[in-house]
C-alpha cells in the first residue's frame, strides 16, 4: 500500500464527513466539497493552511503529537481513529518499520491448547492479524463450523466473509459484520504496513470482492473489543451471543474471542446443545476404526 495515499485518503474522508454546521462554521450555500474545506480544518486545529495541506498530501513525518491531537479534535476522530492517525504518523518516517514479533513457528503451545480445551461452557477461539484461524476449544470450533468447510483448507474469517456465499447465511447481520472486519483490517494495516501476509490478503480481496473494495475505500477503522454476534448455525439455528476480545501478550499477533449467551434465553439452550454435540463428536474422534481408544 502507498503510505502517502493512505494518509491523504484517511484525512480527506474524515474531513468530508463533517458539515460546517457540526463544526460551528457558517458555510454558506455554495460549497464544492461535501464537508469541511482544508482551510477550515486548519483554522479549527490552529495550524496554517499550508501545513495542513502538506499533511493531507500524506506528509506526516515529523508532525508533533500536539499537532496530531489538534487535527484529531478538529476532525472529531474517535479513539480508534486517533490511534490510527498516530500509527500513520509513526510509520511515516524514513526508517523501516520494525516488524512485530511473530508467534513461534512451532504453532500453538500445548499448554495454551489445554487451557482452551478446559473452557467448556463458552466458545473460545483465536485468530491472528491476518484473520487466519489459530486455535479453538471444541465448542468454538463447533460454533464456527462453516468457516472450516472451505475446500482450500484456509480458515480465514475475511476470505470466508467476502468470498464464501455461506457467510451471508451464517452472519445474520452480514453488512455490519463485513464493515467491522474491514475496519479492523484497516487498523492492523496502519499499525504494521510491512506485514506482507496482511497486504497480500487485502490485495486479494480488493481484486475479488466488490463488497470488500467498496468498504476498503471508506477508510474506516475500529478497535475490535466486544459486542454482539447474531449467527445462524447450520445445526442449532439462530444464536445471539455477546463476545469479548482479548489480547495475548505472549503472542501479540493473536487475539482470543469468547462468547456467552444471555441466561434463560433460547440462545443459551441452543449453545448448550451445541456444546453437547461437540463433546460427542470429539469423543467419537478419539476412537479408531477398530474400536480401540486413541491416545
**Distance, CA of 259 to CA of 123 (rounded, Å):** 5
pLDDT tens for 57-73 read 999 988 999 999 999 99
Q: What percent of the chain has pLDDT over 90?
A: 73
Statement: residue 89 has pLDDT above 70: yes
Cell of 64: 508533533
In tens, the pLDDT along 17-51 reads 998 888 888 755 577 777 899 999 999 999 999 99
Radius of gyration of the chain (CA): 23
Residue 78 pLDDT level (bands cut at 50, 70, 90)? very high
Measure the CA–CA gap between 149 and 164, rounded to whole angstroms: 10
Residue 183: the pLDDT is: 96
For residue 106, the SS3 value is coil
In the chain, the DSSP E strands lie at: 124-128, 133-136, 226-233, 237-247, 254-260
Look-up of cell digits 484525512: 11
202-223 average pLDDT score: 95
CB-CB contact of 22 with 77 (8 Å): no
Domains and CATH numbers, the chain: 3-90 (1.10.260.40), 110-285 (3.30.450.180)
Cell of 57: 498530501
**Which pLDDT belongs to residue 293?**
46
Note the pLDDT tens digit of each residue in 102-150.
544 458 999 999 999 999 999 999 999 999 999 999 999 999 999 988 7
Q: Give the position of cell 476480545.
A: 245
CA dihedral 143, 128, 14, 65 (to 10 degrees): 140
Query: For the residues 262-268, what does the mean pLDDT come to?
Result: 96
Dig out the grid coordinates for 86 from the structure. 498516530
C-alpha cell read off for 196:
506482507
* CB proximity list for 90: less than 8 A, separation 6 or greater: 97
Query: In the 8-state DSSP scheme, what is residue 146?
Result: G
DSSP symbols for 174-189? HHHHHHHHHHHHHHHH
First to last CA, the chain: 48
With 60 as the cut, is the pLDDT of residue 95 above it?
no
| Residue 271: burial class (beta carbons within 10 Å; 0-12, 13-18, 19+) | buried
Distance of alpha carbon 130 from alpha carbon 150, whole angstroms = 17
pLDDT digits over 144-170, tens only? 999 988 766 579 999 999 999 999 999
CA dihedral 52, 58, 59, 63 (to 10 degrees): 60
Amino acid at each position: 500500500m502507498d503510505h502517502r495515499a493512505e494518509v491523504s485518503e484517511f484525512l480527506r474522508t474524515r474531513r468530508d464527513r463533517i458539515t460546517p454546521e457540526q463544526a460551528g462554521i457558517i458555510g454558506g450555500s455554495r460549497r464544492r466539497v461535501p464537508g469541511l474545506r482544508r482551510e477550515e480544518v486548519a483554522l479549527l486545529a490552529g495550524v496554517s493552511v499550508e501545513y495542513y495541506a502538506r499533511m493531507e498530501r500524506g506528509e506526516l513525518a515529523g508532525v508533533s503529537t500536539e499537532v496530531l491531537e489538534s487535527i484529531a479534535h478538529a476532525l472529531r476522530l474517535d479513539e480508534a481513529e486517533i490511534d490510527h492517525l498516530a500509527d500513520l504518523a509513526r510509520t511515516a518516517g524514513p526508517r523501516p518499520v520494525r516488524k512485530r514479533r511473530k508467534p513461534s513457528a512451532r504453532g500453538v503451545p500445548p499448554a495454551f491448547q489445554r487451557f482452551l480445551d478446559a473452557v467448556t461452557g463458552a466458545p473460545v477461539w483465536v485468530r491472528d492479524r491476518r484473520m487466519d484461524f489459530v486455535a479453538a476449544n471444541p465448542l468454538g470450533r463447533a460454533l464456527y463450523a462453516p468457516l472450516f468447510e472451505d475446500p482450500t483448507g484456509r480458515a480465514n474469517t475475511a476470505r470466508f466473509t467476502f468470498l464464501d456465499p455461506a457467510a451471508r447465511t451464517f452472519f445474520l447481520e452480514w453488512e455490519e459484520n463485513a464493515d467491522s472486519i474491514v475496519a479492523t483490517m484497516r487498523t492492523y494495516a496502519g499499525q504494521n504496513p510491512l506485514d506482507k501476509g496482511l497486504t497480500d490478503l487485502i490485495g486479494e480481496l480488493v481484486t475479488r470482492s466488490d463488497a470488500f473494495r467498496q468498504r476498503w475505500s471508506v477508510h474506516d477503522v475500529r478497535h475490535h473489543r466486544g459486542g454482539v454476534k447474531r449467527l445462524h448455525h447450520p445445526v442449532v439455528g439462530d444464536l445471539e451471543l455477546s463476545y469479548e476480545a482479548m489480547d495475548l501478550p505472549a503472542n501479540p499477533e493473536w487475539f482470543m474471542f469468547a462468547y456467552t449467551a444471555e441466561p434463560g434465553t433460547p440462545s443459551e439452550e441452543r449453545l448448550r446443545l451445541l456444546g453437547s454435540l461437540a463433546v460427542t463428536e470429539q469423543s467419537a474422534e478419539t476412537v479408531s476404526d477398530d474400536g480401540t481408544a486413541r491416545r
